[in-house]
Amino acid sequence: MQIAEKTRLSPEWLLARVQKMIEDDAEIDPTENLVLYGLDSIAVMTLSSELKQIGIEASFEELAREPTLDKWWALISSRL
């Protein structure tokens, strides 16, 4: 397990990562569906893979079920 990488995870990290995935500088409402900002399934798969590499199991299905910053952070933080 990559403890050092896990400790860098934060809501701010997630927000920055999502903004890169959607390539938009718009302010993101943490409760808004990220698909409305242009998030696509490939980006969700990529995030799931990145999280797995640092020891956080968050499947594509789990992330795609409720694609909001708040729900994603709740999922990630529950597995830290």
- What is the predicted pLDDT for the residue at 1? 45
The residue-averaged pLDDT of 44-72 equals 96
List pLDDT tens digits, range 2-46: 556 676 899 999 999 999 999 777 899 999 999 999 999 999 999
- What is the predicted pLDDT for the residue at 26? 83
- What is the predicted pLDDT for the residue at 67? 98
Q: Are 56 and 80 in contact (CB under 8 A)?
A: yes
What pTM value is reported for the model? 0.90
- What is the predicted pLDDT for the residue at 59? 98
CA distances from 2 to 25, 32, 35, 37 (A): 30, 30, 30, 31
